[in-house]
Amino acid sequence: MDNIVFFDGVCTLCNFSVDQLIKLDSMKVLKYSSLQGKAAGELLDPKDIEELKSIIFLKDGKMYKESNAVAQILMTLGGIHKVSGLVVHYTPDFISNFFYRLISKYRYVLFGKKDNCRLPTPDERSMFLD
């Protein structure tokens, strides 16, 4: 399995981001799984699941985290999004990850937290692994 976006299923900002990715993904190249889901438990390091600090992107058998995951997701979408992904990719990690970690640390305070993980709509179901 490739092109899987693993996200914090109870994070409001993370769910909003997934909603936006679904809208942008006209070719349906991305799949999704919450970090709390079964697929994440089978494919990821337990530490990544416990900490819930980063979006994780599995592409071509490689795991990308933090701003590197964002860059790879955007480049995978292609088109104009690839340009944005390249900008993030070529920004030094110490800069892009500083901002990523800052937002990640305060995302529940700034954007809120849901009681349950996101459930896909019937139209979205084929894009979600669990």
Going from N- to C-terminal start, the domains of the chain cover 4-119
Q: Tell me: pLDDT of 73 over 80.
A: yes
pLDDT grade, residue 82 (50/70/90)? Answer: very high
| Ramachandran category for residue 53: left, alpha or beta (phi over 0 → left; psi -120 to 50 → alpha) | alpha
pLDDT grade, residue 128 (50/70/90)? Answer: very high
Distance CA 120, CA 126 (A): 9
Mean pLDDT in the chain?
Answer: 94
Q: What pTM was estimated for this model as a whole? A: 0.94
pLDDT grade, residue 130 (50/70/90)? Answer: confident
pLDDT grade, residue 118 (50/70/90)? Answer: confident
